[in-house]
Chain A
Amino acid sequence: MTIHTENPIIEVHDLTVSYNNKPVLWNVDFTLPAGEMIGIIGPNGAGKSTLLKSLMNLIPNNSGYIKLFNDDLDKVRHKISYVPQRESVDWDFPASVMDVALMGRYKPNNIFKRFTSEDKDIAAEALKRVNMLDYAKRQISQLSGGQQQRAFLARALAQQADLYLMDEPFAGVDAATEKTIVELFMSMKAEGKTILVVHHDLQSAADYFNWILLVNTRLVASGPTKEVFTPEMLRETYGGKLTVLTKVGEIIAETQFPIRES
């Protein structure tokens, strides 16, 4: 069940993505509204993070196209902030929390210049919003998981984007931090930002998001939470992979068959 929206902020058309020639997302097609809290929900290995990465063109796709702000990614990058999974970086890197927040001020056109005092103010403000200003000088390896996540969020806030793509921001953080982050997202939404979050806790999903994408190697549903977050849809999402589809994927991987005739 896919409910489309007028003037979408994200439009994904017939997207197929594979790793090592094994499709992990098949023919995905959806549109997402601006100014909403949107959740990408699905079991482990369903391709949730892959979907986020292909939106940012971090992995190549086999077919289809993606439009963001009704444009190509390269023209609207400055309006988008991507927050990778916390484990994707080495936190033993010699940097302070402030250094990480300031990375949000890097732009290809200012990368040769020093940070202005405005940049520093924006980064400090971002740290304040995630309650990390007191830790600004702390070495990042000394942070707890929740604090690391908040440092990443501060970097994202410092980017002053309109669309935020967050990969598992609630993974491995304590309840108090989760609450802080949710409140932050709500206030961002009130400012008109669009937030797309990879999430795997069904309990909280209905509370957090007003639009939901259900994914399990294919798109099961996309639409307002009330309409798609139903027992029936969830059963379809979590009821295991489609055996025929999985089998075909394995054959493609084994024979190194092209995913599209070109």
Chain B
Amino acid sequence: MTAFQNIVDFLSLKEANVRYVVLGTILLSVASSVIGCFALLRKRALIVDSISHSILPGVCIGFMVSGTKDPFFLLAGAMLTGWLSIYFIDIITRYSKIKADTAIGLNLSVFFAVGILLLTVIQNSGNPNQSGLSDFLFGKAATMVLADLYVFGGMALFVISGVALFYKQFVLLSFDLHFAKTIGLNIKFYEFILSILTVMAVAIGIQTVGVVLMAAMLITPAATARYWTDNLRKMLVIAAVIGALSGIVGAFISYSYENMPTGPWIVIVFSLIAMLSMIFSPKKGIVAKWMRQRRNSHKMMEDNILKAFYHLGEKEGDFHKKRTVEDLMGLRKFERNKLLNGLKWLSAENTIVHINNTYVLSKRGKATGARIVKIHRLWELYLKKYLRVADDHVHDDAETIEHIITPELEIQLEKLLDYPTEDQHNQKIPYSK
């Protein structure tokens, strides 16, 4: 069977088993991503990691009690020890001098150590049902059957509806706990619900993702979604979509290759999405930042060239005389390559005209140059008058500020200074007619 055939088979959901796996994985990913948003906003990411490691001993106990891999028993055990770890962290931070991060670290390792011990005991016990129990470490989505789907999927739906039902309460809790308390909200109750839903979301991941990596399932989609929006409802939806997509890819790989764990693949997929988001997301992404800087330096170069044309024109009383690159470089220390680039952009915008090896300022170019010179001189006067900046210090500041003053601020500056005609060096301030 070719890889392509494999994908087609998987995506067509022909096999009942594939349908269970895909549906189960989607439900689980959506549930954990959505509840993870609140863990992230409440700065509880590490607690989630502690929960996920702490459910391992619970799973083992569930197996030891029932003697089978009945999901009901395993989940009951997982929820119990997952919950205990939250409780212990709370108790330790409240009644001892140990700080939260240390308490989380202690808990995580102790619970996980006990879990591994119990797992070893089970593996040495010779119980024939125990085969596959170690899959709970890193997850194996492909082993999901209909009975599992009912239990795991049902719980995932429960978590999702819980978030929908208590959305407002969770928002208040996460944003401003004190305020929530003062309006009479039963904080302890809702915090308890939120914790229970979080433990549930972590516990249902044992089969698909595995205990070790389950925390990432809650945190990474949420953190990634935060890159794309400032709106909490949208953040929940984006996190859910990212979680579900990664879940499907992970499930597909687990389905296609024998002995391939699902969890690490899911984590790799959404970590990739997270990385891409860091680079490409609008506003907050690295590329967006880089583009902004590039735009700024473009604008600075263009402004400076037009200003140089204007200064030359001012000096010689002819604004539209042909200028060479050397003329411009004689006035201001341009880097030749950057200057040539800038001249190219300006020619494209028709603010200057390129004739043979000379350049001429157009009418529009002159107006723009005049505006920059005007703002520069107004700003110097403003600094002198309102900030009492020394004469020899105003120029450098104005060199930058001249590029960023908006038309609104420009009008305000003119009014504030009462339309001065000359700057401090008796140079004329050019107003547009």
List residues of A whose CB falls within 8 A of some B CB.
53, 56-58, 74, 77-78, 80-82, 84, 88-90, 93-96, 99-100, 103, 106-108, 111-112, 139, 141, 155, 159
Contacts and interface: CB of A to CB of B under 8 A. Distances in A.
Contacts of B178: 53, 56, 58, 82, 84, 88
A53 B178 CA distance: 9
Interface of B: 41, 43, 165, 168-169, 171-172, 174-176, 178-179, 181-186, 226, 229-232, 235
B176 A56 contact: no
A141 B284 CA distance: 13
Contacts of B226: 94
Contacts of A99: 232
Given A82-B179, A106-B168, A111-B168, A93 B174 contact: yes
B184 A74 contact: yes
A94 B165 contact: no
Contact of A82 (B168, B171, B172, B182): B182
A108 B230 contact: no
Nearest to A108: B184
Name the residue in B169, B171, B178, B229 with the highest tally of chain A Cβ atoms < 10 Å from its Cβ: B178
Contacts of A57: 181
24 contacts: A58-B178, A77-B183, A78-B184, A80-B182, A81-B182, A82-B178, A84-B178, A84-B179, A90-B175, A93-B175, A93-B232, A94-B41, A94-B226, A94-B231, A94-B232, A94-B235, A95-B175, A103-B171, A103-B175, A107-B183, A139-B230, A141-B230, A155-B179, A159-B183
A128 B179 CA distance: 22
Nearest to B236: A94
Nearest to B185: A108
A233 B175 CA distance: 39
Given A58-B178, A93-B174, A106 B183 contact: yes
B169 A111 contact: yes
Contact of B182 (A77, A95, A139): A77
Contacts of A84: 176, 178-179
Contacts of A53: 178
Nearest to B190: A111
A111 B168 CA distance: 7
Given A56-B182, A58-B182, A111-B169, A103 B232 contact: no
A103 B179 contact: yes
Contacts of B230: 94-96, 139, 141
A58 B181 contact: yes
B176 A103 contact: yes
Contact of B181 (A56, A96, A100, A103): A56
Nearest to B234: A94
Given A82-B179, A94-B230, A94-B231, A112 B165 contact: yes
Nearest to B42: A90
A96 B231 contact: yes
A95 B232 contact: yes
Nearest to A94: B232
Contacts of B176: 84, 88-89, 103
Given A95-B230, A103-B176, 10 more contacts: A80-B182, A82-B182, A84-B178, A84-B179, A90-B41, A95-B171, A106-B185, A108-B184, A108-B186, A139-B230
